[in-house]
Structure 1
Amino acid sequence: MKKYFIQKNPFVVPTTDGKLIEEHHGIATTNNPEISIAHMIAPPKWSEPFQTPEFEEYTYIVKGKKQFNIDGEIIILETGQSIKIEKNTRVQYSNPFDVACEYIAICTPAFDFIKVHREED
């Protein structure tokens, strides 16, 4: 039995907002509830509703900028920067800028739509 797994076919999460989400490891791809790792590209002027997830989320910006509204505090990360957001924190992710933002998101435990608790628009 191999002691490694190479992900060659990440699950592309269907979206309606133009955001690309490729889950490499997590519930949808490897049925792993402990961690999810996803490559994402948020188009210019993209945003999603506030959420209060039951998991920690780490974000690393590969290219561009991404805005975080964390409990009312606006934080902007740029290429090469990263952030860890604790679970049960109210946060809104967005890209209000004119260029796409490419980033890696890691959630522990894994991202789960049931546990993200997105607010209605």
Structure 2
Amino acid sequence: MPELIKAPTQIPVPGGKVIDEYVGRVNSGESAVSIAKMIAPGGWTEPFQTPSFDEFTVVLRGTVRVEHDGGFTDVSAGQAIVTRAGERIRYTTPTGEGAEYVAICLPAFGPDLANRDSD
């Protein structure tokens, strides 16, 4: 039977970014996949990470910059990017407008699976 997700759970994070998890470990108990909508202010950044999950990101508004070993890739509204487990990456919002985007992680996101650098 279909399962309605009536509302997301907001995941607290520093730096002014808002994470609304619809499907995942916190909101629905799902460990195979997570789906979350993020809103990040302009100039937002997070530490580098080497996740143990694949991440599929669709940008709805603004620009998300993905820094990686080969440099960086700017992903604009209407575009998507795929990062693979084991790649060292960092997400930022390089423009003043910030960004709104949806991230799908396989398996589901978990802080212990992000493997964030301690910088």
With the shorter chain as reference, the TM-score category is over 0.9
Alignment of 1:14-33 (within 5 A): 14-33=12-31
> Gaps (5+ residues) in structure 2?
none
**Are 1:63 and 2:61 an aligned pair?**
yes
4+ residue segments displaced more than 3 Å: none
Q: TM-score, normalised by structure 2?
A: 0.97
Secondary structure of the 2:14 match is coil
Distance 1:10 1:103 in 2: 15
The alpha-carbon deviation at position 22 of structure 1 amounts to 0.1
CA RMSD of aligned residues (A): 0.8
Number of residue equivalences: 119
Q: TM-score, normalised by structure 1?
A: 0.95
Residue in structure 2 matched with residue 87 of structure 1 by the alignment: 85
Distance 1:74 1:82 in 2: 14
Which moved further from structure 2: 8-17 or 84-93? 8-17
The alpha-carbon deviation at position 40 of structure 1 amounts to 0.4
Q: Given residue 88 of structure 1, which amino acid in structure 2 is its aligned partner?
A: G
Paired-residue identity, %: 37
> Gaps (5+ residues) in structure 1?
none
Distance 1:16 1:50 in 2: 15
